[in-house]
Amino acid sequence: MHMSNEDRLYSQYIYERMGQSSLWRDFGFIAYKMSNKECFIAEMFIHREKRTLGNGRKLLNDLVDIAKGNGCDVVTANIHLWDQNANKTLIAAISCGFEVSKSGQDVLLISLKLKEQ
């Protein structure tokens, strides 16, 4: 996996400014924050031409391994209804085992429970 200098700078920026760790692949990245047994996905992006090929699921599985290794019991994310990809993201998330667990002002909180292995 090649991480460009720009990727490296962005990963350092979100870590320093927002405490977000990130996983980088040639096809995309995921930024997350773990606290109190919860692993919150702050950003997830798969290159437009690399979507619906299983890459998002692959990256999520890698994050799930990290979250479990750190004692988390749930992975969460927000879907903002104003996001033009909101419905696609929701379909992909449900396909990957997430469920809608809360709703607020134009935001859905989605959760993936991590089972003990």
CA pair distance 43, 45, nearest whole angstrom: 7
Residue whose C-beta lies closest to ligand COA: 56
Q: Is 82 in the site for ligand COA (CB under 6 A)?
A: no
CA pair distance 52, 50, nearest whole angstrom: 7
Bridge-based pairing state of the strands 38-46 and 74-80: parallel
Q: Is 22 in the site for ligand COA (CB under 6 A)?
A: no
- Among residues 8, 88, 102, 113, which is the contact residue for ligand COA, using CB under 6 A? 88
Would you tell me which residues interact with ligand COA (CB under 6 A)? 44-46, 51-57, 79, 83, 85, 88-89, 91-92, 95-96
